[in-house]
Amino acid sequence: MSTSVLLDGERGISELLKNCLKCIFDKYCTPKPSSESLDLPKDAYLSPEGLDQWAINANGEPFSKETNDELFE
């Protein structure tokens, strides 16, 4: 994958990457968005359960307790 897809001209996160990350967050956040739009609820967050579900879908298993502890510090 080309870095031009992930980064903008100033080496910051591209709009395409931002939209991809929003779509992923939409799938695992609490509360869930009410529509297919990229508008997240203002109080949306990634719960430990949502993070575990993402890890299972991405890696085949939830994160270890140690990894979760580090992520939520």
Q: Which of 24, 50, 73, 55 is nearest to 64 (CA)?
A: 55
pLDDT of res. 27: 92
pLDDT tens, N- to C-terminus, the chain (73 residues): 555 688 888 889 999 999 899 889 989 999 988 776 667 888 999 998 999 999 999 999 999 999 988 988 8
The phi and psi torsions of 64 (rounded to 5 degrees) equal -70, 165
3-state secondary structure (DSSP) of residue 70? helix
What is the pTM (predicted TM-score) of this model?
0.71
Give me the amino acid identity at 11: R
Domain ranges across the chain: 3-71
